[in-house]
Amino acid sequence: MEETYLLNVEGVKKKILHGGQGELPKLQDGSKFTFHFQTLKDDFERTVIDDSREAGMPMEIIVGKMFKLEIWETLLSSMRIGEVAEFWCDAIHTGMYALVSRGMRRIAEGRDPLEGQKHRCGMGNMFDYHSTGYEDLDELQRTPQPLIFIMELFRVEDPSAYKRDTWAMSKEEKLAAVPVLHSEGNRLVLRREFAQAAAKYQEAVICLRNLQAKEKPWEDGWLKLESLVTPLVLNYCQCQLELGEYYEVLEHTTELLQKHNDNAKAYFKRAKAHAAVWNEREAREDFQRVAHLDPSMAAAVKKELKQLGERMRKKHVEDRKRYQGLFQSGQGL
């Protein structure tokens, strides 16, 4: 189709390149668009800035979740499934594109899209940066200009039709998801499916951390959320102990103890991880802290220390034999 027409939005033109199927999708808050896109400059060469096909992944956005480039929701809402359309958008709609593109490029490169950002709104972050890290995006940031978006809409899913990513949930949805995920994790532990259980605990922690980011540290709201985070982190660490991921346990228990240095269970799990990787001194120190903080765990600590001593003696014997063998072998040459 060659017909070009204006959407009922100032500064936007649309040209349908390939017609879609059926009626316009019925959208609701939380509906998900999946689509491919190209972004081009409005110059003689129609210079390509981004192409999701080259990046190897389609784009997804959620209706009503304040995607930084708000105009995209408007453009996609005008499309049918299977439609390919070209949109010309004036600079009044494209000022945030450099920031959005920067995040998408980082994801495609396997990097954290939020790396280095301050905890501020998107526009505030844009003024903080002297450079996006990409020369062409720096130009767009310095000089906002009209852009052309070519979009192909694959599907539109209702909120109930797909698993909601944590970031797409409302505050109420996140709070409601936490006890469900905690319960599912506990059920999987009973079945000794530790990797799956760890994933459930981790997802619940992410929900709570996202909510905590909007609270002032150590104030009531933050502390209430932290009280929910702590047992989930400990459960996650127990799963990682079972899976032999000892350095993962060391990382998370140490982070927890930096905030809560009186948590005996965190010291106990960290001590077991230290013992597993032959950090004898650190393991003994942590076990002793456990016995001091929680006398009811003294028997468990005594048992662990006995096992640690036996393992270390056995290791020393094996090491001596190994070194003697190497020395004798070297003399025989």
Domain hosting residue 304, numbered range: 169-328
Per the listing, tokens 């994801």 go with: 107
Residue 161 domain flag: no
Would you state the pLDDT for residue 326?
A: 61
Q: Is the distance from CB of 128 to CB of 120 less than 8 angstroms?
A: yes
Decide which of 94, 121, 155 is a domain's last residue.
155
Answer yes or no: do 188 and 306 share one domain: yes
Answer yes or no: do 55 and 189 share one domain: no
Would you state the pLDDT for residue 26?
A: 86
Answer yes or no: do 145 and 250 share one domain: no
Would you state the pLDDT for residue 130?
A: 57
Answer yes or no: do 83 and 221 share one domain: no
Residues 9-23 have pLDDT tens digits of 899 999 999 999 989
Q: Is the distance from CB of 98 to CB of 126 less than 8 angstroms?
A: yes
Would you state the pLDDT for residue 70?
A: 86
Cα atoms in the 13 Å half-sphere on the side-chain side of 23:
3
Q: Determine the Cα angle at 68 with ends 66 and 69, to 5°.
A: 110
Radius of gyration of the chain from its Cα atoms, rounded to whole angstroms: 28
Residue 280 domain flag: yes
Answer yes or no: do 125 and 202 share one domain: no
Residues 186-232 have pLDDT tens digits of 999 999 999 999 999 998 998 898 888 888 989 999 999 999 999 99
Answer yes or no: do 78 and 179 share one domain: no
Answer yes or no: do 85 and 18 share one domain: yes
Domain of 69, CATH number, reads 3.10.50.40
Answer yes or no: do 186 and 304 share one domain: yes
* Cα dihedral 326, 327, 328, 330 in deg (nearest 10): 80
Residue 300 domain flag: yes
Residues 285-310 have pLDDT tens digits of 999 999 999 999 999 999 999 998 89
153 SS3 class:
strand
Answer yes or no: do 145 and 174 share one domain: no
What residues in the chain have per-residue pLDDT under 70? 1-3, 65-67, 109-130, 160-168, 323-333
Q: What are the backbone angles phi and psi of residue 10, rounded to the nearest 5°? A: -60, 135
Would you state the pLDDT for residue 54?
A: 86
Decide which of 108, 131, 155 is a domain's last residue.
155
Would you state the pLDDT for residue 125?
A: 42
Task: Provide the number of structural domains found in the chain.
Answer: 2
Would you state the pLDDT for residue 129?
A: 46
Would you state the pLDDT for residue 122?
A: 41
Q: Is the distance from CB of 129 to CB of 96 less than 8 angstroms?
A: no
Would you state the pLDDT for residue 64?
A: 75
Answer yes or no: do 75 and 135 share one domain: yes
Answer yes or no: do 305 and 207 share one domain: yes
Decide which of 155, 186, 221 is a domain's last residue.
155
pTM of the entire structure? 0.53
Answer yes or no: do 208 and 290 share one domain: yes
Residue 321 domain flag: yes
